[in-house]
């Protein structure tokens, strides 16, 4: 929908809301001027009328559905099919009093007070009254009652809720009866595209305004003017008092008006519903609020629907024509469609419409549709069967592969069992002998390594003792080493030290499998000791005789030689 059309509808809605609000305020002011001493405030009734507690209508109960406490009246045998009655505006469960008495013989009847009405909970938020939420109230009510399916009989706003329930949960519905009502899509389309319906629904625009509609309903005799019909005693003043009892309470009109405020829309999308559910749509010939355009829209939206007109009836059908008498269903000469029918009664009987839901389930169209559904299901089952066959073949191939694998394993096991036992024992003994030989050789190697370590420690100990002795002797003879004999002695000592160093180096090289860290420590010790000896020799030369010593061959301990670990 384009923006220009939406803006146009928005402007029209606001203009009509303003015009109707001003007109209503003018009407209220005019009535006040005419009767200035009249008490216009609704008279609150403390005691409920006796008819509301009449046991013939059923038992009053409460239930928590969709997080809202709902009040309802129950009658009939709970083992029989469930039939739920949903009232409209401005009503409550009492508008179904005749049907509760009539159908409790064959059905388990539940007449509810929708949220915001009667003794049910009244949420304050306007968004709490949107149609999907109201439909969910009914769905959860059916669950809480322990049922999966039900028959719904509805009127006015109850019809809008029932149609939305049918759209959302068709699988839970055995039959639907809509009296003096329509679907929300059909109503919204007619409101914007049909001048007649827009004039008949003038109050819808007024209800968008806050406070004003509540004030109008409280200061006018809405129930007397809308429900009392001359010549029809089915609604009397005592019944009107029952309605006034609940709607005279403080703020009682605001939640019902919020139904209109929450679901007012500027655009609508009509979706065709082809579910084959028994659906009876009935209007009174004297209907004042719903035009012919709604009937046409309902035919477009619902493929399977039986449309009926009730002669000599207005908007409140279930209260105007409740008695069961002789009736006859015939085609009307003035019908605009083969789906539209007219109910002609010797004495108008509206209860017939409720039982008509079971007739519709045996129509030719239903049989054809059931046959199509069955064919579709057979095709689905055939596809599933093919898929199952393919899976079975795959599983069979896997089983064959597993069987072949098992046969090979069994062959190998059999061959292993046929192997000579003596050969296995001999093989085990050979492996045991080899293990013992390895263990014995390992022990010998460890013992040799320990002997080598002890020998090396002994050599190092002797070397340290000899070195200390030579140093001490050098210190003693140091000051007297002034002649050639002493010089020769020092030279011999240096040669012996060098020889010992060579011997130690060879000994270290022989330890190919020794501890690397210990060898490196020994290597560093030798370097330190040799450095000390060299310093002693230098001191001896510096403080000894002035006679020069003969040159001494420099036999280092090869401290710069290759690493000991590399021997």
- Residues with Cβ within 8 Å of residue 307, at least 6 apart in sequence: 281, 282, 295, 298, 299, 337, 339, 340, 341
Which DSSP letter does residue 556 get?
A: -
Query: How many Cβ atoms sit within 10 Å of the Cβ of residue 100?
Result: 23
Region of residue 9 (phi > 0: left; psi between -120 and 50: alpha; otherwise: beta): alpha
How far apart, in Å, do the first and last CA atoms of the chain sit? 99
Q: Which of 113, 156, 167, 239 is catalytic?
A: 156
453, exposed or middle or buried, with CB in 10 Å at 0-12, 13-18, 19+? middle
Q: Which two tokens stand for residue 473?
A: 């002797």
H/E segment holding residue 421: helix 421-476
Q: Which of 315, 352, 505, 523 is catalytic?
A: 315
In sequence order, what are the beta bridge partners of 113? 71
410 is catalytic: no
CA atoms within 13 A on the CB side of 146: 5
Q: How far apart are CA 42 and CA 244, in angstroms?
A: 9
Please spell the DSSP secondary structure of 469-538, one letter per residue. Answer: HHHHHHHHSTTT--SHHHHHHHHHHHHHHHHHHHHHHHHHHH-TTS-HHHHHHHHHHHHHHHHHHHHHHH
283 is catalytic: no
Q: How far apart are CA 415 and CA 183, in angstroms?
A: 83
Query: Rounded to 5 degrees, what are φ and ψ at 135?
Result: -65, -35
Q: How far apart are CA 291 and CA 134, in angstroms?
A: 25
Question: Cis peptide leading into 90, omega within 30 of 0?
Answer: yes
167 is catalytic: no
Indicate if the alpha-carbon torsion angle 526, 528, 532, 534 is positive or negative.
positive
Q: Which of 94, 129, 260, 352 is catalytic?
A: 260
Active site residues per annotation? 156, 260, 315
């Amino acid at each position: 929908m384009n923006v220009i059309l939406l803006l146009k509808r928005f402007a029209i809605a606001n203009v009509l809301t303003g015009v109707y609000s001003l007109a209503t305020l003018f009407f209220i002011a005019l009535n006040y001027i005419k009767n200035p001493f009249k008490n216009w405030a609704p008279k609150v009734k403390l005691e409920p009328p006796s008819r509301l507690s009449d046991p013939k209508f059923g038992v009053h109960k409460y239930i928590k559905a969709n997080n809202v406490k709902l009040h309802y009246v129950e009658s009939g045998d709970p083992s029989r099919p469930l039939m739920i009655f949903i009232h409209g505006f401005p009503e409550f469960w009492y508008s179904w009093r005749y049907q509760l008495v009539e159908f409790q013989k064959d059905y388990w009847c539940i007449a509810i007070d929708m949220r915001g009405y009667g003794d049910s909970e009244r949420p304050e938020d306007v968004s709490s009254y949107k149609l999907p939420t109201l439909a969910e109230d009914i769905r959860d009510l059916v669950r809480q009652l322990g049922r999966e399916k039900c028959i719904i009989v509805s009127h006015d706003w109850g019809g809008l809720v029932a149609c939305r329930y049918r759209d959302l949960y068709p699988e839970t519905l055995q039959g639907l009866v809509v009296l003096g009502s329509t679907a929300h899509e059909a109503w919204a389309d007619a409101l914007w595209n049909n001048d007649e319906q827009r004039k008949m629904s003038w109050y819808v625009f007024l209800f968008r305004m806050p406070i004003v509609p509540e004030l109008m309903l409280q200061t006018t005799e809405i129930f007397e003017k809308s429900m009392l019909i001359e010549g029809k005693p089915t609604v009397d003043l005592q019944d009107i008092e029952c309605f006034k009892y609940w709607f005279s309470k403080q703020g009682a009109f605001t939640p019902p008006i919020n139904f209109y405020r929450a679901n007012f829309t500027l655009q609508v999308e009509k979706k065709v519903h082809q579910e084959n559910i028994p659906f009876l749509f009935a209007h009174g010939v004297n209907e004042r609020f719903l035009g012919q355009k709604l009937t046409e829209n309902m035919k477009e939206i619902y493929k399977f629907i039986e449309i009926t007109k009730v002669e000599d009836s207005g908007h409140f059908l279930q209260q105007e024509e409740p008695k069961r008498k002789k009736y006859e269903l015939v085609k009307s000469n003035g019908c605009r469609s083969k789906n539209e029918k007219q109910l002609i009664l010797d004495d108008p009987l509206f209860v017939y419409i409720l039982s008509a839901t079971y007739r519709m389930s045996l129509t030719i169209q239903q049989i054809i549709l059931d046959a199509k559904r069955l064919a579709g299901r057979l095709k689905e089952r055939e596809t599933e069967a093919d898929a199952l066959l393919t899976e079975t073949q795959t599983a069979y191939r896997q089983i064959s592969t597993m069987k072949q694998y098992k046969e090979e394993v069994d062959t190998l096991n059999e061959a292993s069992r046929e192997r000579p036992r003596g050969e296995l024992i001999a093989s085990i003994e050979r492996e045991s002998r080899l293990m013992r030989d390895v263990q014995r050789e390992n022990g010998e190697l460890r013992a040799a390594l320990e002997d080598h370590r002890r020998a090396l420690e002994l050599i190092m100990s002797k070397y340290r003792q000899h070195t200390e002795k030579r140093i001490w002797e050098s210190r003693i003879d140091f000051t007297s080493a002034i002649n050639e004999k002493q010089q020769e002695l020092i030279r011999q000592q240096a040669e012996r030290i060098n020889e010992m160093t060579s011997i130690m180096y060879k000994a270290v090289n022989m330890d190919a499998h020794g501890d690397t860290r210990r060898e490196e420590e020994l290597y560093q010790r030798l370097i330190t000791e040799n450095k000390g000896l060299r310093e002693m020799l230098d001191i001896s030369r510096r403080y000894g005789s002035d006679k020069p010593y003969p040159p001494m061959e420099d036999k280092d301990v090869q401290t710069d030689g290759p690493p000991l670990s590399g021997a």
